[in-house]
């Protein structure tokens, strides 16, 4: 059985914090699927297609990585793509408490899917998409928080 992992999130935008977690998780899995969850309660700054394009560009040379968009429960996306693991990044202790509650709920819905937590490297602890969007909205330079493919697109739109 191959080890297929889903890394769910909004990735709005994709940050170096995201790519850090993805890159460090790659040796653990045979395939890593990045799942852009559609959240009806969130109005994204960047289109779903833009976020998919960024992920496809960043990982174009890595056949182990794929990006998809999905609706509904993350465990249902896992079933659809054949993933038996969910990957989540942890920055702070309160992230763990929140993520553990979700992991427990997912496990009670689908007991064959295991959640794996990776902690952020210290330099990415404060890199949250929400903060990056705030800096962007106020005209600040976000390039040090973003992969090159993302920075290029954002600078081209200015």
Count of CB atoms situated within 10 Å of the CB of 123: 11
Q: 23-42 pLDDT, tens per residue?
A: 999 999 999 999 999 987 87
Q: Report the largest interatomic distance among the alpha carbons of the chain, rounded to a whole angstrom.
A: 48
Tell me, what's the pLDDT at 125? 87
18 catalytic? Reply is yes
Domains located in the chain, CATH noted: 4-157 (3.40.50.620)
Identify the active-site residue in 3, 42, 60, 126: 42
Return the residue matching tokens 């009670």.
108
42 catalytic? Reply is yes
Intervals of the chain under pLDDT 50: none
Tell me, what's the pLDDT at 42? 78
Tell me, what's the pLDDT at 115? 98
Identify the active-site residue in 24, 31, 79, 91: 91
Report pTM: 0.95
């Amino acid at each position: 059985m191959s080890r297929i992992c889903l890394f769910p999130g909004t990735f709005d935008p994709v940050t170096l914090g995201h790519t850090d977690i993805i890159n460090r998780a790659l040796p653990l899995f045979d395939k890593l699927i990045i799942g852009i969850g559609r959240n009806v309660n969130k109005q994204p700054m960047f289109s779903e297609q833009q976020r998919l394009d960024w992920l496809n560009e960043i990982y174009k040379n890595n056949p182990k990585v794929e990006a998809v968009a999905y609706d509904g429960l993350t465990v249902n996306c896992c079933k659809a793509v054949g993933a038996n693991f969910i990957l989540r990044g942890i920055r702070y202790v309160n992230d763990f408490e929140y993520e553990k509650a979700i992991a427990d709920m997912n496990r009670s819905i689908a007991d064959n899917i295991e959640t794996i937590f990776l902690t952020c490297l210290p330099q990415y602890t404060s890199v949250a998409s929400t903060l990056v969007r705030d800096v962007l909205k106020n005209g600040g330079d976000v390039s040090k928080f973003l992969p090159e493919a993302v920075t290029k697109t954002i600078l081209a739109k200015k």
